A and B are shown apart, each in its own frame.
Chain A
Amino acid sequence: MSADRLVGEAKAVATGTADSGGTEPRAGRREQVAGLLQRGAVFLVLAVAIVAGAVAFGSSFASVENFRNIAISSSFLALIAIGMTFVIIGGGIDLSVGSLLALAGVLAAYGSRQGSLAAVALPLAVCGAIGLVNGLLIARARMAPFIVTLAALLFARGAAFAVSDEGNTTYLIKPGMAVTELGQGTVGGLGVPVLFALAAFLIGLVVLNRTSFGQAVFAIGGSEDAAQLMGLPVARIKILVYVASAMLAGFAGVLVAARSSSGLPTLGAGLELEAIAAVVIGGTLLSGGAGSLTGTLAGVLLLGVIQNLINQVGTLSSYYQQVVSGAFLIVVVVVQTYLSRRRRL
């Protein structure tokens, strides 16, 4: 029985009922503006920041060279933030990504002794496994994502130190190995990590908005009970999301190691919080069910631009960057909360 035939029958039922019942008024103007603002604020602020930077610092900010640098330094956070967006839209959170990046970097350098393939495969496999454990504990054992990924953070950080002998041994990637191209190469003037970030963004965009999987993630974050009753494979999707997040963080770690030709276990501290900040600033609701990857990308770029602007000042200590980022996050979230409360019917 196809939907079309039923529609036909339903139409037959409807003829004769001459009322206009079931018509809902269009969303009021104020609600429309509020919605637009909530989704679009980050782009506006990003544009303002870029323009302000160009005006204040001229060519030292607004040069191709500088933008390239911002792009590269943002690309690692971007990869992580893309995974984090899926996790948060699905109603969860992943605190382990910073430590996974460090672990992956150490493993990449460690594995590079067996060749470039090992340098990439080993960290991805390990991070994927940790992501799988996260997903299983969260989806099947129904434990809180916050605490599960917190434990994963501790575990991964510990493992990173363990592999690198408490930080005493720094594995190096031999120069000239194929894997270093991933981090240090350029294509058409753009660093390879930037290309990977863009590719991940585009793929993520398609998956999130144009596949059943993506819709399911939205549904689960919006109302897990309803998603369950509507027949979605909730546990499976949640597990996949955590595996994806972990592997993206792992891949980012590989790229960092490839770029610096070494694996340091101390990297990535606090990166998960930066990623969360980028995602939230980009308009994704922390409570889940709504969000956009484009917003996340803008949020990542915004954080990168802020850091760059503060560096430009030179005399200001770089600590101000943290203050500004933190204050910014708070302002954005306050505005988001306020707007979403006004729209609630």
Chain B
Amino acid sequence: MDEATLTRTLPAQRDLRGWLGDRGVYLALALLVAFNLAFTANFATVGNLRLQLIQVVPVAIVALGMALVIGTEGIDLSVGATMAIAAALLPLYLGYGPWVAIPVALAAGGVVGLVNGGLVAFVGVQPIVATLGLLVAGRGIALVIAQGRLTELFDPTLAAIGTDRVAGIPITVLIAGAVAGLVGLVVRRTTFGRRVVAIGGNRGASVLAGLPVRRTLVVVYVVSGLLAALAGILDTARLSAADPSFVGLLIELSAITAVVVGGTPLSGGRVRILGTLAGALLMQLISATLIKHDLPDSTARMIAAAIIIAAVYLQRPRVAT
């Protein structure tokens, strides 16, 4: 046996460690829900459920786009800045009506994604550096557009999208659900989805198999940008205010955490949509649980850190030695 044989891995990651790395997030979520049902007052009310879902919407949507990018072994650090750009553009174009302002804001997200994708796919810049550049420049652009100010919005359509409900479910949650369904379908059943995981799994092999690697990468970053813009729009709609300094701050960290904890490895090659949603929900619930029990936010952060380490530790590939 020589090196070539070492491409072989352990049959059946059906042992505990492998399972925990892949699906542990559901277990953790279940445990946390159980804990809250037992010890947290007013947890099982419709109102509370609604609240948790509403709060998780932005992270969930961004995380869905992030999952696709991470699936290609990339990363998108600029999502928070993209949210801010979208939020900053809305008030400027609301004069033309919400159905002009919203597409403009979405398009801006697409443009950021296009730049990211172009840098990564055609110039060959590493994703972390390319999107880092956009993160720094993008936040600045958002601040310049909005002149650093928080702007209040007075548009009934936007407010309706942000706060109304259909059959008791907030519209923003419905939108997030639809996006999740769409992304999940794409990953599982479409050729594009296959290409994404193949590129992340083995880029060299994908090139030699004739896959349109560069085109696929650009699209993936554009999608991430679009979804980030969408999250920014929904967030702004909910608050009826756009604050470019705070919209989406540090959301890239939350999104990456949700994706990784949800079972999608940073090394690419596999995308777990349901897991990503569960990851986002888990982080949200941790935060909410701590608040309800009067524990400080700082504890939430430290727990989040521990969970990330645990999740990635379990995801390590086993190598034969």
Q: Which residues of B sit under 8 angstroms from A148, Cβ to Cβ?
A: 309, 312
In the complex, whether A326 has a CB less than 8 A from a CB of chain B is yes
Q: Do A326 and B129 touch across chains, with their CB atoms under 8 A apart? A: no
Expressed in whole angstroms, the minimum distance between the Cβ of B206 and any Cβ of chain A is 19
Q: Do A322 and B143 touch across chains, with their CB atoms under 8 A apart? A: yes
Q: Do A155 and B301 touch across chains, with their CB atoms under 8 A apart? A: yes
In the complex, whether A199 has a CB less than 8 A from a CB of chain B is no
Q: Do A146 and B144 touch across chains, with their CB atoms under 8 A apart? A: no
Q: How far is the CA of A151 from the CA of B310 in the complex (A)?
A: 10
Q: Identify which of B132-140, B175-183, B197-205 touches chain A.
A: B132-140
Q: Do B253 and A143 touch across chains, with their CB atoms under 8 A apart? A: no
Q: Which residues of A sit under 8 angstroms from B111, Cβ to Cβ?
A: none
Q: Identify which of B9-17, B60-68, B292-300 touches chain A.
A: B292-300
Q: Do A158 and B144 touch across chains, with their CB atoms under 8 A apart? A: no
In the complex, which of the residues A93, A158, A270, A322 contacts B298, with contact meaning CB atoms closer than 8 Å? A158
Q: Identify which of B39-47, B102-110, B117-125 touches chain A.
A: B117-125
In the complex, which of the residues A137, A144, A159, A324 contacts B266, with contact meaning CB atoms closer than 8 Å? A144
**Chain A stretch 298-345: residues in CB contact (< 8 A) with chain B:** 317, 319-327, 329-330, 333-334, 337-338, 341
Most chain B C-beta atoms within 10 Å of own C-beta, residue among A146, A150, A165, A324: A150
**Chain A stretch 243-287: residues in CB contact (< 8 A) with chain B:** 270, 273, 276-277, 280, 286-287
Q: Which residues of B sit under 8 angstroms from A330, Cβ to Cβ?
A: 119, 125, 130, 133-134, 137
Q: Do A162 and B309 touch across chains, with their CB atoms under 8 A apart? A: no
In the complex, whether A238 has a CB less than 8 A from a CB of chain B is no
Determine the interface band of chain A, counting residues with CB < 8 A from chain B: 35 or more
Instruction: Report the nearest A residue to B301, measured CB to CB.
Output: A158
Q: Do B140 and A320 touch across chains, with their CB atoms under 8 A apart? A: yes
In the complex, which of the residues A93, A321, A324, A338 contacts B123, with contact meaning CB atoms closer than 8 Å? A338
Q: Do B141 and A161 touch across chains, with their CB atoms under 8 A apart? A: no
Q: Do A162 and B134 touch across chains, with their CB atoms under 8 A apart? A: no
Q: Contact string, B185-210, partner A, CB cutoff 8 A, digits 1/0?
A: 00000000000000000000000000
In the complex, whether A229 has a CB less than 8 A from a CB of chain B is no
Q: Contact string, B280-299, partner A, CB cutoff 8 A, digits 1/0?
A: 00000000000000001111
Q: Which residues of A sit under 8 angstroms from B304, Cβ to Cβ?
A: 151, 154, 158
Q: How far is the CA of A148 from the CA of B316 in the complex (A)?
A: 13
Q: Do B129 and A325 touch across chains, with their CB atoms under 8 A apart? A: no
Instruction: Report the nearest B residue to A160, measured CB to CB.
Output: B298
Q: Do B143 and A277 touch across chains, with their CB atoms under 8 A apart? A: no
Expressed in whole angstroms, the minimum distance between the Cβ of B190 and any Cβ of chain A is 29
In the complex, which of the residues B125, B143, B144, B253 contacts A334, with contact meaning CB atoms closer than 8 Å? B125
In the complex, whether A142 has a CB less than 8 A from a CB of chain B is yes
Instruction: Report the nearest B residue to A335, measured CB to CB.
Output: B123
In the complex, whether B260 has a CB less than 8 A from a CB of chain A is yes
Q: How far is the CA of A270 from the CA of B133 in the complex (A)?
A: 12
Expressed in whole angstroms, the minimum distance between the Cβ of A278 and any Cβ of chain B is 12
Is the contact region of chain B dominated by helix, strand, or loop, or is it mixed?
helix
Q: Do B297 and A150 touch across chains, with their CB atoms under 8 A apart? A: no
Q: Contact string, A88-110, partner B, CB cutoff 8 A, digits 1/0?
A: 00000100000000000000000
Q: Which residues of A sit under 8 angstroms from B138, Cβ to Cβ?
A: 326
In the complex, whether B147 has a CB less than 8 A from a CB of chain A is yes
In the complex, which of the residues A160, A286, A341 contacts B128, with contact meaning CB atoms closer than 8 Å? A286
In the complex, which of the residues A150, A159, A277, A327 contacts B302, with contact meaning CB atoms closer than 8 Å? A159
Q: Which residues of B sit under 8 angstroms from A327, Cβ to Cβ?
A: 133, 137
Q: Which residues of A sit under 8 angstroms from B299, Cβ to Cβ?
A: 158, 162
Q: Do B126 and A155 touch across chains, with their CB atoms under 8 A apart? A: no
Instruction: Report the nearest B residue to A161, measured CB to CB.
Output: B298
Q: Do B132 and A276 touch across chains, with their CB atoms under 8 A apart? A: yes
Instruction: Report the nearest A residue to B144, measured CB to CB.
Output: A319
Q: Do A143 and B316 touch across chains, with their CB atoms under 8 A apart? A: yes
In the complex, whether B51 has a CB less than 8 A from a CB of chain A is no
Q: How far is the CA of A219 from the CA of B212 in the complex (A)?
A: 35
Q: Do B305 and A273 touch across chains, with their CB atoms under 8 A apart? A: no
Q: How far is the CA of A157 from the CA of B254 in the complex (A)?
A: 14
Q: How far is the CA of A166 from the CA of B126 in the complex (A)?
A: 36
Expressed in whole angstroms, the minimum distance between the Cβ of A288 and any Cβ of chain B is 11
Q: Do A154 and B126 touch across chains, with their CB atoms under 8 A apart? A: no
Q: Do B298 and A286 touch across chains, with their CB atoms under 8 A apart? A: no
Expressed in whole angstroms, the minimum distance between the Cβ of B218 and any Cβ of chain A is 16
Q: Which residues of B sit under 8 angstroms from A322, Cβ to Cβ?
A: 136-137, 139-140, 143
Q: Do A147 and B308 touch across chains, with their CB atoms under 8 A apart? A: yes
Q: Do A166 and B296 touch across chains, with their CB atoms under 8 A apart? A: yes
**With A137-B309, A161-B298, A320-B144 as contacts: A325 and B137 at CB distance below 8 Å:** yes
Expressed in whole angstroms, the minimum distance between the Cβ of A307 and any Cβ of chain B is 12
Instruction: Report the nearest B residue to A154, measured CB to CB.
Output: B305
Expressed in whole angstroms, the minimum distance between the Cβ of B145 and any Cβ of chain A is 9
**With A161-B301, A325-B137 as contacts: A273 and B132 at CB distance below 8 Å:** yes
Expressed in whole angstroms, the minimum distance between the Cβ of B117 and any Cβ of chain A is 13
Q: Which residues of B sit under 8 angstroms from A27, Cβ to Cβ?
A: none
Q: Which residues of A sit under 8 angstroms from B156, Cβ to Cβ?
A: none
Q: Which residues of A sit under 8 angstroms from B20, Cβ to Cβ?
A: none
Q: Do B256 and A141 touch across chains, with their CB atoms under 8 A apart? A: no
Instruction: Report the nearest B residue to A96, measured CB to CB.
Output: B305
Q: Do B129 and A280 touch across chains, with their CB atoms under 8 A apart? A: yes
Q: Do A334 and B313 touch across chains, with their CB atoms under 8 A apart? A: no
Q: Do B302 and A154 touch across chains, with their CB atoms under 8 A apart? A: yes
Q: Which residues of A sit under 8 angstroms from B97, Cβ to Cβ?
A: none
Q: How far is the CA of A41 from the CA of B297 in the complex (A)?
A: 44
Q: Do B119 and A321 touch across chains, with their CB atoms under 8 A apart? A: no
Q: How far is the CA of A176 from the CA of B300 in the complex (A)?
A: 37
Instruction: Report the nearest A residue to B141, measured CB to CB.
Output: A323
Expressed in whole angstroms, the minimum distance between the Cβ of A268 and any Cβ of chain B is 13
In the complex, whether A81 has a CB less than 8 A from a CB of chain B is no
Expressed in whole angstroms, the minimum distance between the Cβ of B214 and any Cβ of chain A is 14
Other CB < 8 Å A-B pairs besides A158-B304, A166-B296, A330-B130, 10 of them?
Answer: A146-B128, A148-B312, A153-B305, A158-B298, A158-B300, A161-B296, A162-B298, A273-B77, A317-B148, A324-B140
A-B contact pairs, 6 of them (CB 8 A): A93-B128, A151-B306, A161-B296, A161-B298, A280-B129, A326-B138
